[in-house]
């Protein structure tokens, strides 16, 4: 072995890397066969003979299958006399994931049927067969199969077999993931990547960073693939009947594009004249009691319907696709394109922030943290939920907030006392101009998130304005003016657009939405109780953890201790992503004394951003309520700032305590990544579960075999 190691060290680094990757693949194969398929080698056909239960003797047998009806989704097989290690159930019926359980009677419980296992199956798809592990005490005398989900139509049992011989079926996706993870581990340990600091100019480090970026984009593509079994990109331009159909409520952007194409601002929807006769058309209870039909969650004002959702996705995706193809994107495809943009901008923001705050960054923490920021910001959750158009402006806002962060950081760094060559001046002007454009696009995505952009940029931009080492030309003509021109033009356009719709330059239409309650009565007033509730629900509220895939889900627990109605739906706190605990590093950071004035921005910017996050959280809580979408307003800003502070303060230094803290932070990043990926399969819309049940079951069986 010693000679082998000596020969291994003599070969080139690239050859060493290749050998480690091959070793990881071999080990992954051993684990796949020796751990996940160990039961294949322990099958005892003599002790546990394969026995197919005769379904034809059961009542309801139709010569092909045994139906389980919605009113009685249970079947019991009695008078059995065989030891059992497994039961294999083959089904047929409707497409969709159905859950069930298996109960048994054996020598230890001869009279009472006890639960022995649970299962999920898709009767109408490729995953229509499931094997449930059993362990009967002695011989099995009774077997009961029950579907616990409510059935809407019959499910047929094609066969039920005890102790069926299981083939050696390698799970390719699990094998690939294990090989990838082990390869990464071997390479990190062998080349001691955890000791290295990131160098912007080093090609190998840039390639590693590019690899993480490509991995994030690959996950975007995988999320789109998982959302729907037909993976459709485009859909035909809808007819007038489709536009006015209540079913089209899922895509306000299609309706708005149609309105613009017809030369109007209001949506081309039928307006029920009874709405005008109501005492309060925004009262859900009155609309329902008087049975007045209306279009859900559209702004109703002066007898017309409007969309109050930000226009950025329309300009970024819908119109480009429409101009190029004459068709419209599906909401899932729109979510994919917006997510790709957001991922690229998040990586740009990370590297700009490193240049601004943390020139000494640990390489491994950087690579793991970039993936953790994308997952911890709930970006994949938002993309996986994009069949609900509510999430499209959130994804767009995440992209533009990241773009603003990157551009503002680079623009600040471009301001130096010396005038520099003309090319530097042009670069500075361009950066500030694009920074202003990104702020306008952020407002067109999610107006309230502009508060976060202001909180981040205010300390930086104010420092430029008061920096006496810069000339007035640099401060005003080359910095302030290029930024303010697009901001003022954009603000004027947005205010004019609001005014011609709702008679107010500052009304975006949220006050006139026909939804759960009359939003006009939601008001701002400070209350310690409400502020504490916001902190709990937006930051501390836990996931509901489960034993089975996907192992976590959002809480739907209702709280009625607010004095009046408050909108509450699926939610979880930001601290469920361990990455965000990095924000508590602000405490020792504020206690640190910096010798140089330039380092004070490490205190000022995070402190201002924290204040902005708390203010925006309270605004969302009071004006909106409790929902994961409101939490998503804060998630990217908190994740980015937490990551940058951790990257600045945590290093793999020589002391044992520093290494211990390093490992804790790295594990927090990896847990954040895992939770962010699991939320693709557990969210408000549950698209993967409902629209692509076979894929959902394939992923779940990676963990449950």
Question: How far is 401 from 352, CA to CA, in rounded Å?
Answer: 13
Work out whether strand 328-329 and strand 234-235 pair parallel, antiparallel, or are unpaired: antiparallel
Mean pLDDT of the chain: 91
More confident residue, 475 or 25: 25
- Determine the pLDDT at residue 419: 47
**Quick one: average pLDDT of 510-539?**
88
Which token pair is 436? 């202003």
Sign of the CA dihedral running 119, 120, 124, 129:
negative
CA-to-CA distance for 380 and 394, rounded, in angstroms? 12
Q: What share of the chain is helix, strand, coil (3-state, %, to 5)?
A: 55, 10, 30
CA-nearest of 260, 257, 247 to 295 is 247
| Contact (CB, 8 A) for 306 and 252 | no
| Residue 68 phi, psi dihedral angles, 5° rounding | -110, 120
- pLDDT tens for 309-357 read 999 999 999 999 999 999 999 999 999 999 999 999 999 999 999 999 8
Q: How far apart are CA 81 and CA 228, in angstroms?
A: 44
Around Cβ 278, how many Cβ atoms within 10 Å?
15
Q: Which of 3-12, 88-97, 390-399 has the lowest mean pLDDT?
A: 3-12
pLDDT in the model for residue 246 = 67
Least confident of 245-254, 418-427, 535-544, 662-671: 418-427
Cα torsion 323, 216, 683, 102: sign = positive
Tell me the C-alpha distance between 394 and 309, whole Å: 10
- Kind plus residue range of the DSSP H or E element containing 140: strand 140-147
Containing 363, the helix (H) or strand (E) segment is helix 363-376
| pLDDT the model gives residue 238 | 86
Rounded to an integer, what distance in angstroms lies between the CA atom of residue 71 and that of residue 243?
38
DSSP 8-state secondary structure symbol assigned to residue 362 = B
Residue 492 near residue 439 (C-beta atoms within 8 A):
no
Q: Which residues pair with 380 in a beta bridge?
A: none
**Which pLDDT tens digit goes with each residue over 162-201?**
999 988 888 889 999 999 999 999 999 988 999 999 988 8
3-state SS of 391-414? HHHHHHHHHHHHHHHHHHHHHHHC
| Chain segment 16-33, per-residue pLDDT in tens | 889 899 999 999 999 999
Cα–Cα distance measured from residue 384 to residue 224, given in angstroms and rounded to the nearest whole number: 7
Given a cut of 60, whether residue 443 has pLDDT beyond it is yes
**Mean pLDDT of all residues in 406-431:** 81
pTM listed for this prediction: 0.94
Sign of CA dihedral 472, 476, 477, 479: positive
Nearest to 604 by CA among 455, 461, 467, 459: 459
| 575 closest CA partner among 544, 542, 531, 552 | 542
Smallest Cα–Cα separation from 640: which of 604, 613, 670, 600?
A: 613
What are the tens digits of pLDDT across the range 30-46?
999 988 888 888 888 88
Best CA proximity match to 539, nearest among 424, 633, 680: 633
Provide the 10 A C-beta neighbour count for residue 624.
Answer: 17
Residue 686: which region, alpha, beta or left (left: phi > 0; alpha: psi -120 to 50)?
left
Report the percentage of the chain scoring pLDDT > 70.
96
Per-domain boundaries in the chain: 1-36, 51-162, 234-316, 330-704
Local structure of residue 541 (DSSP, 8 states): P
Mean pLDDT within 224-249:
84
Q: Say if CB 136 and CB 81 are below 8 A apart.
A: no
Helix (H) or strand (E) holding 122: none
Distance of CA 362 to the CA centre of its chain: 26
Q: Are 649 and 585 in contact (CB under 8 A)?
A: yes
Distance of alpha carbon 257 from alpha carbon 56, whole angstroms:
58
**pLDDT (0 to 100) of residue 250:** 65
| Residue whose tokens read 């709702």 | 502
Give the strand pairing for 129-133 and 304-306: unpaired
Owner of token pair 């943290």: 369
CATH number of 51-162: 2.60.120.260
Contact between 8 and 19 (Cβ < 8 Å): yes
The torsion of the CA quartet 282, 287, 288, 294, rounded to 10 degrees, works out to -90
Contact by Cβ (8 Å): 87, 132 = yes
Each residue's pLDDT tens digit, 482-500: 999 999 999 999 999 999 9
Q: What are the start-end ranges of the H helices in 126-281?
A: 172-190, 203-227, 240-244, 252-261
Question: Which CA distances in Å does 596 have to 230, 352, 592, 648?
Answer: 58, 21, 12, 16
Which two structure tokens, joined as six digits, stand for 246? 């209540």
Measured from the Cβ of residue 194, the count of other Cβ atoms closer than 10 Å reads 18
Q: Has residue 536 got a pLDDT over 90?
A: yes
């Amino acid at each position: 072995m010693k000679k082998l190691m000596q020969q291994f060290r003599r070969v080139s680094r690239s050859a060493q890397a290749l050998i480690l990757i091959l070793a990881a693949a071999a080990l992954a194969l051993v684990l796949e066969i020796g751990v996940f398929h160990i039961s294949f080698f322990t099958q005892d056909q003599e002790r546990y003979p394969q026995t197919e239960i005769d379904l034809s003797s059961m009542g309801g047998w139709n010569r092909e299958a045994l139906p389980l009806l919605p009113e009685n989704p249970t079947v019991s097989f009695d008078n059995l006399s065989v030891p059992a290690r497994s039961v294999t159930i083959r089904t047929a019926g409707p497409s969709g994931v159905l859950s069930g359980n298996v109960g048994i009677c054996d020598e230890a419980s001869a009279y009472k049927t006890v639960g022995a296992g649970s299962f999920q199956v898709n009767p109408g798809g490729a995953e229509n067969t499931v094997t449930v592990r059993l362990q009967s005490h002695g011989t099995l005398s009774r077997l009961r199969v029950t579907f616990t989900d409510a059935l809407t139509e019959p499910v047929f049992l094609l066969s039920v077999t005890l102790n069926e011989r299981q083939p050696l079926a390698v799970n390719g996706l699990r094998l690939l993931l294990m090989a990838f993870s082990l390869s990464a581990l071997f390479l990190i340990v062998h080349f001691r990547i955890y000791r290295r600091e990131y160098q912007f100019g080093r090609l190998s480090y840039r390639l590693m960073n590019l690899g993480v970026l490509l991995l994030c984009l690959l996950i975007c593509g995988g999320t789109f693939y998982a959302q729907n079994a037909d993976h459709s990109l485009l859909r035909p331009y809808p007819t007038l009947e489709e536009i006015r159909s209540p079913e089209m409520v899922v895509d306000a952007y299609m309706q708005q594009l149609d309105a613009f194409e017809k030369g109007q601002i209001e949506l081309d929807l039928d307006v029920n004249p009874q709405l005008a006769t109501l005492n309060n058309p925004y009262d859900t209870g009155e609309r329902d009691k008087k049975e007045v039909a209306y279009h859900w969650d559209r702004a109703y004002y002066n007898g017309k319907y409007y969309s109050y959702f930000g226009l950025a996705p329309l300009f970024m995706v819908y119109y480009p696709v429409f101009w190029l193809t004459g068709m419209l994107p599906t909401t899932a495809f729109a979510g994919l394109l917006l997510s790709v943009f957001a991922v690229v901008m998040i990586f740009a923001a990370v590297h700009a922030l490193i240049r601004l705050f943390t020139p000494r960054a640990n390489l491994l923490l950087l690579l793991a943290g970039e993936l953790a920021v994308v997952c911890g910001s709930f970006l994949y959750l938002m993309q996986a939920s994009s069949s609900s158009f509510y999430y499209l402006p959130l994804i767009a806002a995440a992209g533009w907030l990241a773009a603003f962060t990157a551009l503002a950081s680079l623009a600040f760094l471009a301001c130096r006392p010396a005038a520099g060559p003309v090319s530097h001046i042009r670069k500075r002007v361009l950066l500030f101009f694009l920074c202003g454009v990104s702020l306008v696009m952020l407002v067109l995505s999610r107006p309230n998130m502009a508060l976060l952009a202001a909180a981040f940029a205010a300390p930086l931009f104010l420092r430029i304005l008061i920096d006496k080492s810069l000339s007035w030309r640099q401060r005003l003509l080359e910095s302030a003016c290029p930024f303010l021109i697009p901001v003022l033009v954009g603000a004027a356009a947005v205010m004019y657009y609001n005014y011609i719709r709702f008679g107010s330059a500052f009304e975006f239409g949220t006050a006139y939405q026909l939804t759960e309650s009359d939003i006009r009565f939601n008001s701002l007033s400070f209350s310690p109780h409400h502020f504490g509730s916001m902190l709990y629900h937006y930051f501390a509220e836990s996931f509901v953890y489960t034993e089975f895939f996907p192992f976590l889900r959002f809480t739907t627990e209702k709280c009625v201790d607010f004095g009046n109605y408050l909108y509450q739906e699926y939610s979880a706190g930001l601290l469920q992503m361990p990455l965000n605990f990095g924000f508590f590093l602000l405490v020792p950071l504020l206690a640190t004394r910096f010798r140089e004035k330039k380092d004070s921005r490490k205190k000022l910017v995070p402190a201002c951003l924290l204040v902005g996050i708390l203010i925006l959280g309270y605004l969302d809580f009071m004006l909106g309520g409790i929902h994961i979408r409101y939490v998503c307003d804060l998630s990217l800003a908190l994740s980015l700032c937490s990551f940058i502070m951790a990257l600045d303060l945590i290093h793999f230094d020589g002391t044992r305590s520093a290494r211990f803290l390093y490992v804790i932070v790295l594990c927090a990043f990896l847990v954040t990544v895992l939770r962010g990926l699991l939320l693709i399969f557990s969210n408000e819309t549950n698209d993967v579960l409902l629209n692509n049940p076979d894929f959902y079951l394939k992923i779940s069986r990676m963990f449950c075999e």
